[in-house]
């Protein structure tokens, strides 16, 4: 049986792993998960990511996300929330893109020009589907 919400699974794995202070977490690889990890890396919320090819009995690729912590061992990611879900998609016009915590956090938006933050979408003057909020 296939997974119905790979983005929600990714966010849950990252949230749970950061709460118990794991150094990294393995997530099923997909292009959208890779693009979200790239946005999180560019925004400074994670340390990095790498793609592990399936070996032996593993036929699927794995996206390994390296989590980031402050000097006093607190997770940089304070919160993640899935906005658009498989049962209810949330689309916004370029003028209606909401700010997360008054600009403290970011929204990750998938647009016709790729996956980007809410700030980039406002600068490029595009709207799209809000995938999640990060703070």
Tell me if 28 sits within 8 A of 3, measured CB to CB: yes
Confidence of residue 128 (pLDDT cuts 50, 70, 90): very high
pLDDT value at residue 132: 98
pLDDT value at residue 16: 97
Strand order in the sheet with 62-67: 24-28, 62-67, 46-52
The mean pLDDT value for 4-10 works out to 95
Q: What are phi and psi of 59, to 5 degrees?
A: -100, -5
Summarize pLDDT for 71-96 with one digit per residue, the tens.
999 999 999 999 999 999 999 999 99
Delineate the domains of the chain, giving CATH numbers in brackets. 6-134 (3.30.1490.10)
pLDDT at 2 over 70: no
How far apart, in whole angstroms, are the C-alpha atoms of residue 64 and residue 68? 13
pLDDT value at residue 110: 98
């Amino acid at each position: 049986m296939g997974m119905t919400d790979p983005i929600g699974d990714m966010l849950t794995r990252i949230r749970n792993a950061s709460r118990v202070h794991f150094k990294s977490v393995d997530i099923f690889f997909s292009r959208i998960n890779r693009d979200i990890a790239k946005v999180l890396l560019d925004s400074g919320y994670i340390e990095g990511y790498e793609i592990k090819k399936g070996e032996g009995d593993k036929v699927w690729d794995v996206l390994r996300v390296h989590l980031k912590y402050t000097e006093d061992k607190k997770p940089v990611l304070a919160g993640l929330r899935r906005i658009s879900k498989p049962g209810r998609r949330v689309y916004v016009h370029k003028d209606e893109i909401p700010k997360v915590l008054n600009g403290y956090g970011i929204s990750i938006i998938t647009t016709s020009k790729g996956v980007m933050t809410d700030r980039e979408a406002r600068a490029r003057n595009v709207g799209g589907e809000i995938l999640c909020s990060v703070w």
